[in-house]
Structure 1
């Protein structure tokens, strides 16, 4: 790399480049944008970042991001607590909530079973999911991404919960194979939820 930026700017570019989906050129553009902001705006941005990192935690029930425990979804009395939608990450909840078609609660696995990456069933929040089955759960919707690891995880969950006589469904594949929930549009997600099937 050429040494035409001061060390502080190079460091900021490096930090932006660590973010997912941000390459070196975009990191450079973001850095230069931030450096041209008024000092007050930069202070607000940095305060918001530090505050979010310091106050956001995982919900003790579902594993979603929250600043109160339990989260707003788990503590909402109008949500159907007998239906649990299982997702890989908190960002998937955000994608499903945009659709406004689902009124149940969630369970975040914080990953998927991925033998190639050395992640087995104990690496994700499956025990916590099973422990939630003591309530009168009538359906578990598995909304893992439609890729090899997502499908393997869905099948594992199905086999894990079937002996408990709980209906396990899988969202329909309105989402393309290899795609991620966070990139699906609202119509596709809505159709995927409507067309879910038992597994």
Structure 2
């Protein structure tokens, strides 16, 4: 019988051995989600890189102006699918399901966003994001014009570009290290929450 793949290509540090700020961030995520996403453990082996990655991630993905939080995750899932990044499709697909309150959307975007039922604004956003991720040398004035025609502001176009570029980098890191998604991500957002009480 073949051994199950391990989630990490590199050894990960013990939480107790991490700098306080890095440990606090990981514990805060654990308390909110109920588990520690594997990408946090992988990146924590180099605290300076962890801090830079998380800071830029938050600047792009937690912004409340312009693109919605769900639209930001849509970009991540579609770009990650184009790069065949298992970790990011599964992990950000889970976040997308939660933020969009839609149990199906991540499966559609993670398979082929062009077949998903999307409004013109989101289709234009994803078309541009995918061109940034896969053919950026061919981006021209017509691509920016298509975003404006679909109703995206200059700032929303910028965010689309930067999210696509950032996660293209993240996808390559996750693929190269064979990073596996936490099992908890697979069911997150698929079923309605259980009533409390």
TM-score, normalised by the number of residues in structure 1: 0.30
Name the structure, 1 or 2, with higher relative contact order (CA <8 Å, separation 6+): 2
TM-score, normalised by the number of residues in structure 2: 0.30
- Kindly indicate which of the two structures has a greater share of residues assigned to strand: 1
